[in-house]
Amino acid sequence: MLFDRINTLLPYIKTGGHRINVPRDLKSITTINKDRECSPESLGLSSSAIDKIWQSVEAYYKTGLHPAITLVIRYKGQIVMSRGLGYSHVGAAGESPDDGSKLATADTPLCLFSGSKAISAMLIHKLAEEGKLNIHDRVSQYIPEYASHGKHLTTIHDLLTHKAGIRIMPIANPTPELMYDFDTVVKILAESPPVGTPKKQQAYHAVTAGYILGAIAQKASGETLPQLLQRVLAEPLGCEHFTFGMAEDRRHQAAVSLPTGLDKVPVISKMLHHMLGVSDRDITATINSPEAHDAVIPAANIYCSAEEICRFYQMLLDKGQWQGQSVFTPATVANATRRGQLLFDHSAKAPMRYSAGFMTGEKLWSIFGANTAQAFGHLGFINILCWADPARDISVAFLNTGKSLAPEGFVGFANVTTTISAAFPVIK
């Protein structure tokens, strides 16, 4: 009843700011991979439960904050939803293309933003599995300069769990463009004192830790990060994309992120700036640029489709197995996804729980919905969320291109994830 009420009222809540044009007939901008979706009843589910999930997605879209939404859900290893809603490319004023050539589908690649962290973390865990590093090694073993200013005890595990004391860039007024220069960022972080929080205190590292982890991965493997990503994940999972940025000849395929809603929202804007170190609008404005596509930003610019990232989480749900091959050992997956302590996060200013690379769920409620203590996944810049929930035997990719701090967007987002968790029974 509550979900129905939210779905009814949400489209009428408007706090102002830029919105896309929302057609009355959403079926005209909906894509469903009927050849992939299996019957819910064949898996012991009701069609009405699946319908409620999509109704919550449609209500979310009707706010006008989300130009493109794609959703893939696997249950018991089978795809029960593979859908897209809206356009992958819209104009700055929210106008849609004249034809359907840019309809978003489950195969449309888009930027995962911080959802990239989980993927990059698994590259580190793969190197540990291969004996090329230990996640409890000190960072200075691989980057000697990192030992400066009391950082000599910092470990790879500290980086993976947001306890390395480098919450934000240690320079005044960093620009988003700095993120494109991998080597410069590594040098700055290595030669600077800890910033933001005392060492070993938990504080979400939005982009910084990714560079150091990436530099360690390259040193330990002898491969570039794009090569490592291709070898460890893209090839075994059969992914067309799964890349840092997008090659020039493929950029036209990538969905374009668009800032929507108000430019600033009291409290929320300030909190996000505290976490990121830069304006959320600045990030959105630069992520679509050629320079961002050419860059390697381990924590923030992996591109893939909903189908591909759902495949990644299904592989983790299956303890590292994908279509008969071992991508990771079960022990590696267990080490990467094991829940950490619930601690106050000095970036988010709220209690958060991480594994060595993932955000994890809670018994009462979390970003993954209600009663999701076993869930693990990662949020990506406000409203991208991908996860696996062993208790329900589901893997989920919920992606969109609208970047908005509007309160109704957060309500709609929570409504979608909670509706998903309610649709699938907890396995006893």
C-alpha torsion sign, points 291, 297, 299, 305: positive
Instruction: Please give the average per-residue pLDDT across 64-91, as a whole number.
Output: 94
Gap between the Cα atoms of 389 and 376, Å rounded: 7
Least confident of 34-43, 292-301, 331-340, 401-410: 401-410
pLDDT, tens digit, 9 for 90 and up, residues 321-359: 999 999 999 999 999 999 999 999 988 888 999 999 999
List Cα–Cα distances, 402 to 70, 111, 254, 314, in angstroms.
12, 11, 14, 25
Please tell me the predicted confidence (pLDDT) of residue 300.
Answer: 92
Percent of the chain exceeding pLDDT 70 equals 90
Query: Is residue 150 within 8 Å of 199, Cβ to Cβ?
Result: yes
Domain boundaries, the chain: 100-117+235-406
- In this structure, CATH architecture of domain 100-117+235-406: 3-Layer(aba) Sandwich (3.40)
- Residue 171 half-sphere exposure, CB side, CA atoms within 13 Å? 15
Please tell me the predicted confidence (pLDDT) of residue 349.
Answer: 84
pLDDT, tens digit, 9 for 90 and up, residues 113-126: 999 999 999 999 99
DSSP 93-134: T-PPPSSSTTB--TT--EE-GGGHHHHHHHHHHHHHHTTS--
Helices (DSSP H) in 279-320: which residue ranges? 280-287, 290-294, 306-317
